[in-house]
Amino acid sequence: MRPEDIAELILSGFAKHYRLFQKITAQAPIAFANRNWDEIQRISRLRISQYDTRVDETISALAKAAQLNQLDTELWHQVREAYQQRLVFHPQAELAETFYNSVFCRLFHRRYFNNHFIFVEPTLKDAPALPVEAEYRSYFPVVDGLKPTIRKIISHFGFGSAFVDLEQDIRQLMKAFLKQAPDTHHQRFQMRFDILQAPFYRNKAAYIVGRVVSLSGVQPFIIAILHDGEAGLRIDALITQSSQMRVIFGFARAYFLVQTHAPSALVRFLNELMPNKTPAELYNAIGFHKQGKTEFYRELLGQFAHTDEQFMPAPGTRGMVMMVFTLPSFPYVFKVIRDKFAESKPFGKDTVIARYQLVKNHDRVGRMADTIEYSNVVFPLERFSPELLEELHSSISENLVIEDNLLIIKHLYIERRMTPLNLYLLNCNDSDAQTVISDYGQALKEMLAVNIFPGDMLLKNFGVTKHQRVIFYDYDEVQYLTDMRFRALPKVSADDYFTDSGEVSCAPQDVFPEQLCTFVLPDPKLKAMFLAAHPELATVEYWQQAQRDIQQKVLKHIYPYPQQQRFYLTREP
């Protein structure tokens, strides 16, 4: 089989993947218009799983067309060259490179995972970039006036439903913009709106993303749109602060459903609005998590190239299931499943992997960190101190291979590094402690609302971001809320102390919410802060009601922006 034919076959596999990916994504606007929230969740899960299916199909097609028992190095050099030539003007070139890498790495040994055979480095980094204009449309208030221009922007999207009162929403939008971005107060002939052509869908919301270009510079913004029951649509909020926009596109949220023809142009536009976001984070945010893996690995290689740091155990309490290490100046942690678990963890590696996959496919509701899963990751052996190497050998030897000057980990997860909540509380003042303890309780409530029971709720399993947001990151005991049995502690009389009747028998799925503070918050000051903010979390009734809400399909909307930003507070009667 000619190199060109193999290249065309792999590119055809990618084309099918991307076509189906966009076809699945195109169902989101219909589901949003019909308020079919279960369908939104199904679409999200389906997009995550279909990539590997397309890679497997492509490998099967290759196996039928060519002998692939061993690597013909000259042939595959030519295949890579032929494939690269076909990407020069390809609108999804970077995604096609990653697809090629996935196919090759499934076929051949990792000793060939270098830039001679796969696309470790982006081949088109020096080629003309796709213009960001391919993904947005510009509007000029000088032509039609400010309010008619905003009306035109909203009307362009359609959304499949009518607004309850679009004119009032536009008035509130303009008022909020004047309040939030006072430096952009210019005449209509001194500004331009650049609006991404496709709305961003997630959970029960749609978002319009764009920027105002004026004499003052560039002001990014996000407009949130929700259904007001059966009445119709309403603009719910305007977000202009960069920090709030980054939370909406954060690593602890489900991937957006957004259609795009040129993902690199879309990512560059978003990066201009949120310059602190990395390409890996933005590709993940718009649903291209495999490309996010590629971009992250390139970040890691860049880290190795520019520092001589050694890995170290990650700060925090040692986990009984995961061995965790990090690089001091790299904002991620590397998590590897231990060979053996403590007796208090009555499950195996397969259960841990399944639970991490559960979270990957679930609505993370801004409270569960996304994980990047890798196989056969190669590290320079010199980056590990003798002490850390000894710890790795004693805890993850079954997952570890050392060859010459390389250390290979067969399977690992990578997560954004945060300050463990228990360590944060040791070093903060009372005001900050009150803030994060309250947010810890809010994190529990928001996870319960999407049918997630975190299992081990100890503070060491939660992290604090630089915005003082509490995020859960330890998933080995995660289960569905509806699979648990929440019980009240039996009342013990004085006589029970002299009999065996005071003992409480429980099954593996039994949970006693009244014991939450006893085990999680033994510090009286922290316990008081928690109970002042969330007394209901210490009652069995609250947890049982959360279960009933899930069973009755009461889907709550978790707002990724502050409540005070919402227009309902200032809506005219």
DSSP string, 542-563: HHHHHHHHHHTT------SS-G
Choose among 251, 295, 285, 237: nearest CA to 95.
295
Tokens of 311: 């890995």
Q: What SS3 state is found at 335?
A: strand
Q: What is the pLDDT of residue 184?
A: 66
Binding residues for ATP: 314-320, 335
* Residue listed under structure tokens 């709305």: 199
Of the residues 363, 370, 456, 476, only one is catalytic, namely: 370
Count CB-CB contacts under 10 A for residue 464: 24
Phi, psi (degrees; rounded to nearest 5) at 484:
-95, 165
Q: What is the pLDDT of residue 499?
A: 47
Contacts of 500 (CB under 8 A, 6+ apart): none
Give the angle subtended at the CA of 479 by the CAs of 473 and 482, to the nearest 5°.
Answer: 135
pTM: 0.93
Q: What is the pLDDT of residue 216?
A: 84
What is the DSSP-derived secondary structure letter of residue 250?
A: -
Residue 193 near residue 149, CB atoms below 8 Å: yes
Q: What is the pLDDT of residue 489?
A: 87
Give the angle subtended at the CA of 131 by the CAs of 130 and 135, to the nearest 5°.
Answer: 100
Q: What is the DSSP string of 196-213?
A: ESS-EEETTEEEEEEEEE
Contacts of 125 (CB under 8 A, 6+ apart): none
573 residues of the chain, pLDDT tens digit each? 899 999 999 999 999 999 999 999 999 999 999 999 999 999 999 999 899 999 999 999 998 887 777 889 999 999 999 999 999 999 999 999 999 999 999 999 888 888 889 999 887 776 667 788 889 999 999 999 999 999 999 999 989 999 999 999 999 999 998 888 776 666 778 889 999 999 999 999 999 999 999 888 899 999 999 999 999 999 999 999 999 999 999 999 999 999 999 999 999 999 999 999 999 999 999 999 999 999 999 999 999 999 999 999 999 999 999 999 999 999 999 999 999 998 888 999 999 999 999 999 999 999 999 999 999 999 999 999 999 999 999 999 999 999 999 999 999 999 999 999 999 999 999 999 999 999 999 999 999 999 999 999 999 999 999 889 999 999 999 999 999 999 998 876 545 544 454 455 677 889 999 999 889 999 999 999 999 999 999 999 999 999 999 999 888 889 999 999 999 876 665
Catalytic annotation present for 549? no
Q: What is the pLDDT of residue 363?
A: 93
Phi, psi (degrees; rounded to nearest 5) at 367:
-125, 0
What is the DSSP-derived secondary structure letter of residue 384?
A: B
Residue 247 near residue 120, CB atoms below 8 Å: no
Binding residues: 314-320, 335
Count CB-CB contacts under 10 A for residue 497: 9
470 strand-pairing partners: 464
Q: How far apart are CA 127 and CA 121, in angstroms?
A: 13
Q: What is the pLDDT of residue 501?
A: 47
